[in-house]
Amino acid sequence: MSTKRYWDKWITASVYKHFNDNITTVPIFFTHVFAETASALGHSIVSKKQDEAELLEVRMDGPWLYVEGKTDWTARVELNILVQRNLRGSNIYRFNELLGLVTDNMTKVPVYKYGSETADDETFVGCLTISGTGRRGSGIEINKFGRIDKTIPLVQGTVEAHYEITLEET
C-alpha cells in the first residue's frame, strides 16, 4: 500500500504540533481538527470565543500533490494564521507583537509520521519549507484587516506563507 495515503495526515498533524509546541502564550484554535483527534496527537484545542482577549486560528489549505518522477512528489500547502486581539488593554502594540510572534514561527516545519495507524511510527519525513508559490512570490505575508466591525473592539489580521516538501512514495 502506498504511503501517499498518509501524507495529508502527517503534514496536518505536524503543522498543528509545530505551532502548538512553539506558541504557548496565546490560545490557538486549529481549523478542521476535532478535539479527540488533537488530544490523541498531544495537541490542545481551544474553543473559538469572540470574547477571547487574544486568539490565533491556524488554517491549512492543501496539500496539493505534484508528481516529479517515478516515486518523487512535491506537496504544497498554504498556511494562514488568523490573529485576533481584543482592543481592551493598555498595550497599543500588542496586535503587532502577536503578528510578530506568528511570523517568527513561520519557519521550517518538521514533518513526522504522526497518527494511530501501523505506518504512523513518528519517524521524520522531511521539512516543509517556505516556497515561492504564493501570490507575491516567496516569503511571508502579513495582512492587517483592522476592526471588522466598528461596534466590536476587536482587530484581526493574518500571517500567510506557502510551503513545500519533497516526498518519496514507497
28 pLDDT band, cuts 50/70/90, is: confident
Distance CA(44)–CA(42), nearest Å, equals: 7
Cell (9 digits) for 132: 515561492
CA 1 to chain centre: 28
Distance CA(112)–CA(121), nearest Å, equals: 8
Q: What is the pLDDT of residue 87?
A: 85
Q: What is the pLDDT of residue 68?
A: 93
CATH number at residue 28: 3.30.2000.10
| Residue-number span of the structural domain to which 16 is assigned | 3-168
Into how many domains does the chain fold?
1
Model pLDDT for residues 78-93, shown as the tens digit of each residue: 999 999 998 877 888 9
Q: What is the pLDDT of residue 47?
A: 44
Cell (9 digits) for 115: 497518527
Number of H helices, E strands in the chain: 3, 7
Q: Which of 122, 161, 163 is nearest to 10 (CA)?
A: 122
